[in-house]
Structure 1
Amino acid sequence: MTTSDPRAKLPDAPLADNERLKDHSDYLHGTIAADLKDGLTGGFNGDNFQLIRFHGMYEQDDRDIRAERVEQKLEPLKNVMLRCRLPGGIISPKQWLGIDEFATEHTMYGSIRLTTRQTFQFHGVLKNDVKPMHQWLHQLGLDSIATAGDVNRNVLCTSNPIESALHREAYDWAKKLSEHLLPKTTAYADIWLDGEKVFSTEFTQPETQEATDKVEPVLGKTYLPRKFKTTVVIPPLNDVDLHANDLNFIAIGDNGKLVGFNVLVGGGLSMEHGNHKTFPNTAYDFGFIGLGDVLKCAEAVVTTQRDWGDRTNRKAAKTRYTLQRVGVDVFKHEVEQRMGVAFQPSKPYEFTERGDRIGWVQGEDKKWHLTLFIENGRLLDYPGKPLKTGVREIAKIHQGDFRLTANQNLIVAGVSARNKAKIEKIAREHGLINDDTTEQRKNSMACVAFPTCPLAMAESERFLPGFIDQIDAILAKNSVQDENIILRITGCPNGCGRAMLAEIGMVGKAIGRYNLYVGGNRAGTRIPRLFKENISADEILVLIGDWVAAWAHGREKGEAFGDFAIRTGIVKPVVNAAVDFWDESKVPA
């Protein structure tokens, strides 16, 4: 504890009930194993409803048929969604074939969902298949440890397939960070794998860090105050949207060799409608560190947040709120003390792109990489477009790897010149390559929302394709059909679709109604501002139509829509989200 301890500034209030739950969980075991045998419900009882999140799962139900089942005096059709741990998003063709088989034979929907967390999700797994699912993943060399809950979640890494050598080094660090920050409890293995060892749980306690718990030396018995997200980013591509994350390592190269990282802390996008104490925020620059200090730095940031985060109010528990409460300089100094190293001044870098490079590119290693655009990340066989089958057929012959991107797309990486034409043929035959896909569609994204997400207030994934048809028509009408606006839609304000880093963001408020945000930028470094609240999709289309017409005729050379919106005063920029995100005076009447 420091001399002037920031914990003294925490509210004098009872701990949130999640803290009791974690404290009494026996290091995440709970009574999950016994609960699996309860055939009276398709769901999980009591604390286990929350505890399964630490094992990578959320309990859900099919909301499309919820009312019908209630009428039939049946409980909702409960099932789980599982999110795999896949640091850096890399998976082998053999593993892909395994997850494809499970999704086909053991899920309600049969789909594989690529997510903004650079991994895949199974949706619709019934209770009897939950334990076999974990064992299936284990046989493939995969797991879902800590992809949800109050822990460090799946570590993202830029998928850049061109700078092959630098990407390989950065990806290795994403794996190391993931493994170092994982829970050390044996609960996952005990419950799902009958005690079989998953990976080494050896831990070396740094001399500068006081031991807090023998089982969980980094996370502690009650884990983190709230979820925590980490990325590794390779400029100039900000494809992971670093400002959506608590801890970010920006790779600094020298002649193609990784020499260290700039560290940014405290990004995050979730908020609550109308709650002015919540806000999205971009991350703060702490400085540069060398490669020898990466794990110490990550641990120092995590343990500082562990000890200083607000455990009384979960809405104020994320890292960005801790930074706001104690001060960025105070938090940074504590991190330096804990890791025993001072940050150096940050090295120069620039972001010029954010989306994925759809199509073929050739890397430094002369191998080819095919990025497939997967709308909303949903791999399923549709009439005339059997996407899931297509990826399976590619996996049968592909000798490189697959890379899942944080933009819900899929890269077939490391393709030899000999196999290039064969893989393209399969992709085209199955609708995985469509030359008519517009730039606007490629740069639009949605979260899952209905029917499976329990938090959804409005449609998102199912709504997006038709909405983009209408946006494309607006762009064509104004002769800018080859341009695009970064547009994102989420079913609620929790931030999964990263609408708070879009040029135009729509956040679900009620069925058919959204809050409309505008003014983010192409690089993903500016938060958009609320323009109008609780309006229909038709009203939004009218506004976008007017904006696009003005942009098409009045923009400066190369000016992106978000910058145009700020320059022309559609809204004023969000400069300091903690202070001015909710400032209604920044939107002209």
Structure 2
Amino acid sequence: MSDTKSPFIVEGKLADNERLKAQSRHLRGTIEQDLQDPLTGGFTADNFQLIRFHGMYQQDDRDIRAERTKQKLEPLHNVMLRARLPGGICNPEQWLAIDKFADEYTMYGSIRLTTRQTFQFHGVLKPNIKLMHQTLNSVGIDSIATAGDVNRNVLCTSNPIESEVHQQAYEWATKISEHLLPKTRAYAEIWLNGEKLETTDKEPILGDTYLPRKFKTTVVIPPQNDVDVHANDLNFVAIAENGKLVGFNVLVGGGLAMTHGDKTTFPRKADDFGFIPLEHTLAVAEAVVTTQRDWGNRVNRKNAKTKYTLERVGVDNFRAEVEKRAGVKFAESKPYEFTSRGDRIGWVEGIDGKFHLTLFIENGRILDYPGKTLKTGCREIAKIHQGDFRMTANQNLIVAGVPADQKDAIEALAREHGLIQPDVSKQRMDSMACVALPTCPLAMAEAERFLPGAVDQLDEVMAKHGLSEDSVIFRVTGCPNGCGRAMLAEVGLVGKGPGRYNLHLGGNREGTRIPRMFKENITEQEIMAILDELLGQWAGSREANESFGDFVVRTGVIAPVINSAQDFYD
């Protein structure tokens, strides 16, 4: 690392993850030996953590954990894989390969679209892990650096009408992703039977012990904030002139994770560093990452994210260091405005004359259900589709680049298989949850399985108050780590324990305000009673076009979060 004498280095005993990374031989560990061990279905010691850098988390089915313990069996270990798809784009051939593997080699048979604008396989047993990587590699997909202390899958606004600007922004998302990838050959050696070389890997950007903590990057095209910029460490806000991308406003230091009971942790909005022309994009991305690499907290992982580094060293100091390393001076930010975050469900025509069909996928779970054969429908569309698929950061799927003469055929397949349903409420479309139970080991409460029933109740409350044509941004996450982005919702639920949640209110529709906790550790029934009362007040006395989040702030139901480091817990 550079700048080791900087006053901004946190001194103290390093977190054990730092030892693990230093001793990993650039992320190799003894993963290959673990793969050959038939006595356990899981990974042991450091490898449990190291496989994350290869895009996997070890999990088990928590629904059957107790029963297996009674039978004196170890948990049913398996892995979840998260693919690397910058901008969430894949082609029909790739989709068919993803679909086939999910059918044949996963415990649940589903494809899970995520808030990180990619897909996950859940329930892959150890004998099939190498095959999974090789299958994806055969169609040009990998899972390098989609987890662990690295820059993860780079998001990009997925369904703008200005197709040319989107293409340019997507290309930059891909360039940023490639530029910030680990350089180690460990992934190819272990999973793709790559030639084993002497360990001469160099990591000029990430460093030999990689980053202090996970790092998330987005490219966003206003006026849509569908990637939730304030949930991410580094954001490039596209600035277009005359239909051409000319540069980016750079936002740094967003993040939503926190720890229950630890007030040194909190969600935080990103700071606007200023504008850069396109030619400086990669240099600035690298400079932000290396500054966080060198100044981030490697002693306390709970305070290791970029947002805490900015709070500790000061935004001006961090920005100045980025300018120094990149050899770039930030100009004043260009004006832009966010007006929405949701996906435009249905058909949208691009300026190139091609059409994009956004399909609402509740919770992002693509599976065949009785009367709603979503997975089969996507497969049948992939067989005839001539464009690409785009996974959105709101867990939906876009059939993109459809020529006019193919619209009817694709829409017919979507309707036949329940991918288009006329009775989906606006509220349901504006609701989202993370996976949580039964697979996520961090989950404290239900989220994905909780959401559909909760929205049923919320729809009833909305109808009761004459609000069926309205909605609130409603999100549920099973723990405080933030995967469901509840800390940018108008109504956010954060799992506290089985059947219990912290209720947060007061975010806004644009995703530029953190909500504040209104009630702690309450049940679903208590949540719905509170929302019934407040939604009734909103219906009766809101101002013109006033959103629910703005209403509860204006009327004093909840105080706005101005600076979360100072007032989030007030």
Match of 2:229 in 1: 242
Post-superposition CA distance 1:313-355 (Å, at most 9, x none) = 0000000000000000000000000001110000000001110
The match for 1:203 is none
Query: What do the CA deviations read for 1:439-482 (whole angstroms, capped 9, x no partner)?
Result: 00000000000000000000000010011000000000001100
Unpaired stretches in structure 2, ≥5 consecutive residues: none
Letter in 1 for 2:153: N
CA contact under 8 A between 1:161 and 1:369: conserved in structure 2? no
Deviation string 1:188-214 (CA, Å, 9 cap, x unpaired) is 0010011169xxxxxxxxxxxxxxx96
Match of residue 323 from structure 2: 336
Q: Does 1:363 align with 2:350?
A: yes
5 Å-filtered alignment, 1:487-526, equals 487-526=474-513
Shift in Å, 1:140: 0.9
Mapped pair 1:388 → 2:375? yes
1-side partners of 2:7 and 2:553: how far apart? 37
User: Compared with structure 1, are the counterparts of its residues 102 and 350 closer, same or farther at alpha carbon in structure 2 (3 Å cutoff)?
Assistant: same
Instruction: Kindly indicate whether the alpha-carbon contact (under 8 Å) linking 1:504 and 1:519 is maintained by their aligned counterparts in 2.
Output: yes
Which runs of no fewer than 5 residues in structure 1 stay unpaired?
Answer: 198-212, 584-589
Contact 1:160 1:237 in 2 (8 A): no
Provide the C-alpha distance between the structure 2 equivalents of 1:482 and 1:146, rounded to a whole number of angstroms.
Answer: 41
1:318: which partner in 2? 305
How far apart in 1 are the matches of 2:436 and 2:482?
A: 11
User: What SS does the aligned partner of 1:6 have?
Assistant: coil
Q: What amino acid does structure 2 have at the position aligned with 1:125? A: V
Q: Which residue number in structure 1 is paired with residue 26 of structure 2?
A: 27
Name the CA shift for 1:58/1:4 in 2 (closer, same or farther; >3 Å): closer
Conserved in 1, the CA contact under 8 Å of 2:159 and 2:356?
A: no
CA distance in 2: counterparts of 1:214 and 1:24, whole angstroms:
13
**Stretch deviating more after TM superposition (156-165 or 456-465):** 156-165
How far did 1:292 drift? 0.8
Contact 2:79/2:122 (CA < 8 Å) preserved in 1? yes
Pick the aligned partner of 1:299 from 270, 281, 286.
Answer: 286
Cα distance, 1:274 vs. partner? 1.3
Task: Determine if contact 1:161/1:413 at 8 Å carries over to the other structure.
Answer: no
SS of equivalent to 1:122: strand
The structure-2 alpha-carbon separation of the partners of 1:382 and 1:330, relative to structure 1 and needing over 3 Å to count, comes to same
How far apart, CA to CA, are the structure 2 residues paired with 1:162 and 1:38? 51
2:64 alignment partner, SS class = helix
**How far apart are 1:4 and its partner, in Å?**
8.3
Aligned counterpart in structure 2 of residue 423 of structure 1, from 398, 410, 416 = 410
Which residue pairs with 1:108 in the alignment? 107
Match of 1:411 in 2: 398
Q: 1:265, 1:286 within 8 Å by CA — same for their partners in 2? A: yes
- Rounded to whole Å, the distance in 2 between the matches of 1:5 and 1:426 is 60
- Listed one character per residue, the Cα deviations across residues 387-437 of structure 1 (whole Å, up to 9, x for unaligned) are 000000000000000000000000000111111011111000100000110
Give the 3-state SS of the residue equivalent to 2:336 in structure 1. Answer: coil
> 2 CA distance for matches of 1:196 and 1:98?
25
Distance 1:378 1:196, change over 3 A: farther
2:410 & 2:126 partners in 1: Cα distance?
Answer: 37
Structure 1 segments, 4+ long, off by >3 Å, are: 1-4
Mapped to 2, the partners of 1:161 and 1:525 lie a distance apart of 20
| 2:424 paired with 1:441 | no
From 333, 338, 361, the equivalent of 1:351 is 338
Q: Is the 8 A contact 2:184 2:201 kept in 1?
A: no
Instruction: Tell me which amino acid in the other structure corresponds to 1:296.
Output: A
Map of 2:536 onto structure 1: 549
Q: Is the 8 A contact 1:508 1:515 kept in 2?
A: yes
Shift of 1:44: 0.1
CA offset digits 1:91-148 (Å, max 9, x no partner): 0011000000000000000000000000000000000000110000000110000000
Q: Distance in 1 between matches of 2:169 and 2:7?
A: 34
Distance 1:389 1:530, change over 3 A: same
**Cα RMSD, aligned residues only:** 1.1
TM-score by length of 1: 0.95
Q: Is the 8 A contact 1:516 1:530 kept in 2?
A: yes
**2:128 matched residue in structure 1:** 129
SS of match in other structure, 2:63:
helix
Tell me how many residue pairs correspond in the alignment: 566
Identical positions, percent = 71
The answer for the alignment partner of 1:89 in structure 2 is 88
Q: Which secondary structure does the structure 1 equivalent of 2:539 belong to?
A: helix
Q: Is the 8 A contact 2:4 2:294 kept in 1?
A: no
Match of 1:286 among 263, 273, 285: 273
How far did residue 162 of structure 1 move?
Answer: 1.1
User: Equivalent residue for 2:451?
Assistant: 464
| Residue matched to 1:530 | 517
Alpha-carbon shift at residue 160 of structure 1 (Å): 2.2
Counterpart residue type for residue 164 of structure 2: A
Is the Cα–Cα contact under 8 Å of residues 449 and 490 in structure 1 kept in the other structure? yes
